[in-house]
Structure 1
């Protein structure tokens, strides 16, 4: 396991469970105990690796009977997921987040490899000869437009 950090191991563990089930419900403290980490480490993994941009829907309930539910989003069948993805983009989008969204679209079969490469070219920082703030605004607008077109094409 050389080269793997604990966040990678936790992510892999949760994804292996998700591969067998449509959704999982976990308790932070149980997973933290399994990996001998603090519960906030579990929060970190979920907040950074199981986002809507990565194709996951996360719901949590706090308290004594609290849980965290992680579900692999079905982008093709659920317009609400596309709406959440668009909403998550907002008015600005970093190149990294744009690449993550394109990867998710590809992995969920919404776009093929060629389309993914074309969209990646559009979200590339070198595609715009303007300052970074305007680039992030333009990138967000273009990706939202693409997502809206996907909603009606498939």
Structure 2
């Protein structure tokens, strides 16, 4: 059985897919009632599962008429996706963020499942067995190198 967070995530992704513009606006309190949970669980799902690395932009407006807007980011082509992800990597990147980017590449069919598995293996903390913050710096360099290779191999 899936947990409540998984169910909320699945529901929101379905609603986004059905929307032609790939944009939805939801009220935290209404979702909490719908899924019989506390509003902070809605915050948790949105902040951890709808990140830019995963291909989403989240905007929120607080107050009585407040809402959360979730936008599925669309990329014109694979090289643009690679460029966008390289900018997100920066000088350091945590393993979870890097894995989210790799999952996004797989979801966008920019890489094969095998490439996804190889990339995730390369960026694992037990493979890059050096102390922080050097590990996150090295992971960032590896990610950028892999993204550049993918970009120029695809063009």
Kindly state the Cα deviation for residue 59 of structure 1 after the two structures are TM-superposed: 1.6
Say if 1:146 and 1:81 are closer, same or farther in 2 by CA, change over 3 A.
closer
Asked whether the equivalents of residues 98 and 123 of structure 1 are also in contact (C-alpha less than 8 Å), the reply is yes
Between the aligned partners of 1:149 and 1:65, the Cα distance in structure 2 is 46
Asked whether the equivalents of residues 59 and 69 of structure 1 are also in contact (C-alpha less than 8 Å), the reply is yes
Q: Does 1:55 align with 2:55?
A: yes
Residue 110 of structure 2 corresponds to which residue in structure 1? 110
Say if 1:63 and 1:150 are closer, same or farther in 2 by CA, change over 3 A.
farther
What secondary structure is seen at the aligned counterpart in 1 of 2:57? strand
Aligned length: 151
TM-score of the aligned structures, taking structure 2 as reference length: 0.79
Between the aligned partners of 2:100 and 2:112, the Cα distance in structure 1 is 15
Say if 1:44 and 1:118 are closer, same or farther in 2 by CA, change over 3 A.
same
Kindly state the Cα deviation for residue 77 of structure 1 after the two structures are TM-superposed: 4.4
Higher helix share: 1
Q: What is the RMSD computed on CA atoms of the aligned residues?
A: 2.6
Question: 1:20-99, aligned counterparts within 5 Å?
Answer: 20-21=18-19, 22-77=22-77, 79=80, 82-83=83-84, 85-99=85-99
Residue 5 of structure 1 corresponds to which residue in structure 2? 3
Structure 1 alignment gaps of length 5 or more: none
What secondary structure is seen at the aligned counterpart in 2 of 1:52? coil
Between the aligned partners of 1:6 and 1:116, the Cα distance in structure 2 is 27
Q: Which moved more, 1:50-59 or 1:106-115?
A: 106-115
Between the aligned partners of 1:55 and 1:90, the Cα distance in structure 2 is 17
Deviations 1:45-92 (A, max 9, x none): 100111111221212222333221112222344959954x44543432
Residue 14 of structure 1 corresponds to which residue in structure 2? 12
